[in-house]
């Protein structure tokens, strides 16, 4: 995605993820009436179609959730390392020209 910042890419991904997750929840809402009682003869095909939609939508969502889960520990370690780096700089007397407003000199939450 040349020409986009990481923040823009994340924003686009989040919007797409939210849209797809809402579709996933919509399928669950459509299925709910079928799960609260015994299905009648003509309803099995419709319930199976909704179940297939749920499975297919989750198959689309899974790679993103897997990536987030897989990368969580990585991100945690990177942030910890960055915070330690900032703390070492400060311990060695480094100062920012505008420390209160300098995000590069502030540990990350």
pLDDT tens digits, one per residue of 53-77 = 999 999 999 999 999 999 999 999 9
Burial class (CB in 10 A: 0-12, 13-18, 19+), 22: exposed
Given a contact cutoff of 8 angstroms between Cβ atoms, the answer to whether 24 and 62 are in contact is: no
Q: Residues 6-51: pLDDT tens digits?
A: 999 999 999 999 999 999 999 999 999 999 889 998 899 999 999 9
Place of tokens 């669950």: 28
Alpha helices in 1-109 (DSSP H): 6-35, 44-91
Please state the separation of Cα 82 from the chain's center in Å. 22
CA dihedral angle for residue 39, residue 24, residue 75, residue 9, rounded to 10 degrees: 170
pLDDT of residue 98: 66
Residue 85 CA, distance from chain mean position = 27
| The pLDDT of residue 104 | 63
Put simply, whether the predicted model's pTM sits higher than 0.75 gets the answer no
Comparing 89 with 26, which gets the higher pLDDT?
26
């Amino acid at each position: 995605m040349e020409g986009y910042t990481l923040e823009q890419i994340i924003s686009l991904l989040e919007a797409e993820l939210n849209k797809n997750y809402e579709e996933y929840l919509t399928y669950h809402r459509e299925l709910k009436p079928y799960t609260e009682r015994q299905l009648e003869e003509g309803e099995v095909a419709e319930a199976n179609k909704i179940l297939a939609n749920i499975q297919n939508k989750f198959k689309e969502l899974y790679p993103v959730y897997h990536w987030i889960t897989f990368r969580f520990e990585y991100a945690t370690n990177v942030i910890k390392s960055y915070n330690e780096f900032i703390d070492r700089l400060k311990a060695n007397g480094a100062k920012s020209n505008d420390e209160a407003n300098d995000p590069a000199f502030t540990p990350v939450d």
